[in-house]
Amino acid sequence: MHITTCEMHTCGEQLRIIETGFPNISGETILEKIAYIRENCDDIRKFLMHEPRGHHDMFGTLRVEPDLPNADAAFIFIHNEGYGTMCEHAIIALGRYCVDYNIVEAKEPETLVNIQCPCGLIPTYVSYGNGLSGRLRFQSVPSFVLKMDVNVNVPNIGMITVYISYGGVFYAFVSTDVLGLTVKAGDALKAVEIGQAVMNATKKIVKVEHPENEDLGFLYGTIIYDRTELKSKDLIRQMIVFADRELDRSPCGSGTAAHIALIHAKGLLDGNCQKTFQSIFNDSKFTGKVVKKAKCGNFGPVFEEKSDFLKTCRTTRTRTTT
């Protein structure tokens, strides 16, 4: 088997883009394609994500044919455990990728790239020319809070309160003050184990359902944040544990979307105000704000647009395997 990939990262969070060599995929929709890969090609996902060609925190994406009429490109997300329905650090890299590799013709000062993800279409705006090629913004899918104030009994921790919010995937949100953690790199390894335990315990008592598509109804990860920052600051640090104990190096795009929805539901974000989320490993930041209210099933979610001021770095490698 001969597979070529393009290696990118957003704020230190890697993205392995599979370009050629993947078998033909059946399915009319992107979600049907995921189901086909899971049943027929999952060994390739493991091959590219796991050691020795990958590592525990590897993240990847596969380009497929779009099934939405306005999409310029469509991508499936893969990781150490399986398949994701949204990844916004990947959207940032893929916006650049689509422009850099002429999938969409570059226009100054900003190029619109419509990227189809399993959860929907993401209008992505890539700044181009005049030294602004590292700037990118996009509008997420409808984001909403599924559950507020859920009491969860976590082994070795006890009863805690979590919130479940959606930003393309569902996250359980929990504050550091009930976990005995700080939102700092020094507590990252503890956060991985505790975040996984919170997610596992939450899955046992909460039925996570998306109001419009059952394939989107699953808990993807845990977001650990500082309650005092949430209430008093415009800059919030957060640690994101997802899949099988993966830790996001970036501020997390889908987590930003879900967090904006949660902050808005708590009455802590009004009008055109915005919040900025920062990685615990570097000074990279994602900024989110409410754009407009909308409906998603019986929920009244918010759309939010994130303006991400950063650089994505790329190297390209060819991998030959047998």
**C-alpha–C-alpha distance, residues 148 and 165, integer Å:** 9
H-state helical runs in the chain: 30-40, 42-49, 88-100, 188-205, 227-232, 253-265
- Same-domain status, 131 and 249: no
Q: Quick one: pLDDT band at residue 133, thresholds 50, 70, 90?
A: low
> Do 119 and 89 fall within a single domain?
yes
**DSSP secondary structure of 56-112:** TT--EEEEE---STT-SEEEEEE-SSSEES--HHHHHHHHHHHHHTTSS---SSEEE
187-193: which pairs have CB atoms within 8 A and are 24 or more residues apart?
187/239, 188/239, 188/247, 188/280, 188/281, 191/224, 191/239, 191/241, 191/247, 192/241, 192/245, 192/247, 193/245
Label residue 46 by pLDDT band (50, 70, 90).
very high
Decide: helix, strand or coil at residue 233.
coil
Q: What is the mean pLDDT of residues 84-111?
A: 92
Residue in the block written with tokens 């704020």:
11
pLDDT above 90: residue 233: no
Domain that holds residue 68: 2-141+311-320
Residues annotated catalytic, as ranges: 87
For the cut 60, the answer to whether the pLDDT of residue 105 exceeds it is yes
Same domain, 137 and 180: no
Verify that 75 and 38 share a domain, yes or no: yes
Give the residue, 136 or 48, on which the prediction is more confident: 48
pLDDT digits (tens, 9 = 90+) for 7-28: 998 888 999 999 999 999 999 9
Residues 156 and 259 in one domain: yes
Same domain for 151 and 105, yes or no, is no
State mean pLDDT over 251-277. Answer: 87
Query: Are 183 and 233 within one domain?
Result: yes
> Sorting pLDDT into bands at 50, 70 and 90, what band is 308?
low
Whether residue 64 is found in the same domain as residue 171: no
Percent of the chain with pLDDT over 90: 70
Whether residue 207 is found in the same domain as residue 281? yes
Tokens linked to 103:
């999938």
- Is 70 exceeded by the pLDDT of residue 235? yes
End-to-end CA distance of the chain: 5
CATH code of the domain containing 115? 3.10.310.10
Rounded Cα gap, residues 13 and 311, in angstroms: 12
Task: Please state the domain count of the chain.
Answer: 2
Pair (119, 20) in one structural domain: yes
Residue 195 has pLDDT above 90, yes or no: yes
Q: What is the pLDDT of residue 304?
A: 57
pLDDT at 290 over 90: no
The neighbour count for residue 270, using CB atoms within 10 Å, is 8
Residue 322 binned pLDDT confidence (cut-offs 50, 70, 90): very low
Q: Which residues contact 76 (CB under 8 A, 6 or more apart)?
A: 30, 33, 34, 37, 61, 62, 64, 83, 118
Query: Is 46 within 8 Å of 319 (Cβ atoms)?
Result: no
Kindly tell me if the per-residue pLDDT of 321 is higher than 60.
no
pLDDT value, residue 59? 97
Residues 6+ apart with CB under 8 A from 98: 72, 73, 104, 113, 115, 126
Do 56 and 135 lie in a common domain? yes
Please give the mean pLDDT across all residues of the chain. Answer: 89
Asked whether residue 320 carries a pLDDT value surpassing 50, the answer given is no
Structure tokens at 47: 């091959």
User: Do 152 and 9 belong together in one domain?
Assistant: no
| CA angle at 128 for the pair 110 and 88, rounded to the nearest 5° | 75
